[in-house]
Amino acid sequence: MEMQSKIRGAKLACAEQVDKTFILKENSPAIRKKIEESGIGVCACASFEDADWLDFSTAVDNGVHGVGYPYEGETKETTLAMYVHELKNPVWCENVDEFINEIKKWYASKESSQAT
């Protein structure tokens, strides 16, 4: 019975670790600085001229990235539309503080599940 309890707990922990993408529909040097000062890494692509949004994917877990710069001849609008269409489990954040807090909550959840 104890083993079944442990297995059930492990399955629940895995279910809570569904890959998510946190999105902030704004980007500026001040926002990127605030994110970096919080201890979260920011990729150089977040500074690209057409990177209007920022995202953090838990599937990749390698920092905040810029979103919106056109891919291979596409317009920025088309690129953003394709990006939104392809998202799985998006978490739309209203402001930079929420964006930072959601990422930090995810890190804390990840660390606690690895400790058990």
What are the residue ranges spanned by the domains of the chain? 20-97
| Higher per-residue confidence, 14 vs 81 | 81
Distance CA 24, CA 76 (A): 16
Candidate from 33-42, 67-76, 89-98, 100-109 with smallest mean pLDDT: 67-76
Q: Which of 7-11, 25-29, 100-104 has the lowest mean pLDDT?
A: 7-11
Q: Is the pLDDT of residue 1 over 60?
A: no
Q: What is the pTM of this model?
A: 0.80
Q: Write down the pLDDT at residue 55.
A: 97
Instruction: Say how many Å lie between the first and final Cα of the chain, rounded.
Output: 19
